[in-house]
Amino acid sequence: MKPFRVLVVDDSAYSRRTISKMLENMAQIEVVGYAGDGEEGIRQVISLKPDLVTVDLEMPRMDGFTLLRILTTRFNIPVIVISASSEAQKVFRALEMGALDFVAKPQRGNTPELRSIEQDLAQKVRNVLASRKKPAPEDSGEVEPAIIAPRFLRQGRRNAIELVAIAASTGGPPALQSIFSGYDQSYPFGIVVAQHMPAGFTRAFAERLDRISPFEVREAVDGDQVRPGLVLIAPGGRNMVLETVGTEVRVRITLPTAEDRYLPSADRLFASCAPIYGKRMMAVVLTGMGNDGKEGVIKVKEQGGVILAESESSAVVYGMPREAAATGCVDRIVPLPGISQSILDCGGY
């Protein structure tokens, strides 16, 4: 099989060497070159024609943002950002600009600690290998119609939903921004989100969503009450589950176990919500690699909840939504531009 060709762009010689060695340890990967700034990166892309580029955001001459814009618009090359958690807001800006994913670099990136990212880097590169990013379809100004399963009957839902639980991974941050910015007012249901993300990024992500949404959005802490109009983002690297405390529903933040392949886990979140809310909840599965959420949507459906999944046409990676749809439990498959409204339509609002 033809090797997957990667170009490494970083202004630190140590980082370039270390990242290159980690990539070369992966099957099917060939590091074809490296660059110390964006201008050199462009020249190397033209000369070497890589399949993937890793990019540091802070570089001299031409920074990572300018390079990213050129790579995604002119060359349509998948980009993985490798950046420190202290640059979280910059990372989310890069994702909005078209970066496929990011890897959290240790705060002291030019030290042996950089080797700690190897497993995460390998997973992100495998994601790109398994599902090359599709070119964005031309915007015709029309929203693709939702695909509705025959068993879904909106007329049969007499009670409005009280909770929306959302799962997302690769491509999730800009997808969630699209959904929450699609509302011009808050609504009387709570929202809980499991977005696969490492520790150190979710607080900044919640703050970013809070600025663009009429809902109140924040990173969840242990003991938070789930209430209408509030969006709680599971903290990176931890699990968030719900439990009843008297007449209230509260959040519990738990440490991962050896069984948790994805963090925060959508399966654990969905499974904890289902017996509490039953028919009064909705689960939404967005873009992402893997099958997190698959078991959870089964439990939600067993309790009478509604399930939405993002369609292949808009998903950056059609892994999680495909696995959810394969269960037969999904009620409506919707392209990203229609999800905000579908939550209201299917939720009785």
Three-state DSSP at 252 gives strand
DSSP 84-122: EGGGHHHHHHHHHTT--EEEEE-SSTTSGGGGGGHHHHH
The pair of three-digit structure tokens given for residue 318, joined into one six-digit string? 């059609």
Residue 120: active-site member: no
The helix or strand, by DSSP H or E, that contains position 166, with its residue range, turns out to be strand 163-168
The pair of three-digit structure tokens given for residue 2, joined into one six-digit string? 């033809």
Is the Cβ–Cβ distance between 226 and 232 less than 8 Å? yes
The pair of three-digit structure tokens given for residue 321, joined into one six-digit string? 């939504």
- For residue 141, with 0-12 CB atoms within 10 Å meaning exposed, 13-18 middle and 19 or more buried, which class applies? exposed
Separation of CA 66 from chain center: 23
Residues of the chain with pLDDT below 50 are 133-144, 149-157
pLDDT value at position 104?
A: 86
Residue range 105-162, pLDDT digits in tens? 876 555 667 888 898 898 889 888 876 544 444 444 444 455 554 444 444 445 689 9
Given 292, 311, 314, 331, which residue is catalytic? 292
Residues 6+ positions from 183 with CB-CB distance below 8 Å: 213, 214, 215, 340
Ordered structural domains, the chain, with CATH: 4-130 (3.40.50.2300), 147-347 (3.40.50.180)
pLDDT value at position 63?
A: 85
Alpha carbon distance 121, 83 (integer Å)? 12
Q: In the chain, count of helices (H) and strands (E)?
A: 11, 15
**Nearest alpha carbon to residue 343 among 178, 153, 164:** 164
Alpha carbon separation from 30 to 23, 51, 55, 76, 128 (Å, rounded): 8, 10, 16, 19, 14
Given 20, 131, 169, 272, which residue is catalytic? 169
Residue 260: active-site member: no
pLDDT value at position 147?
A: 57
Alpha carbon separation from 17 to 3, 114, 233, 318 (Å, rounded): 20, 11, 35, 33
Given 15, 20, 56, 196, which residue is catalytic? 196
Residue 131: active-site member: no
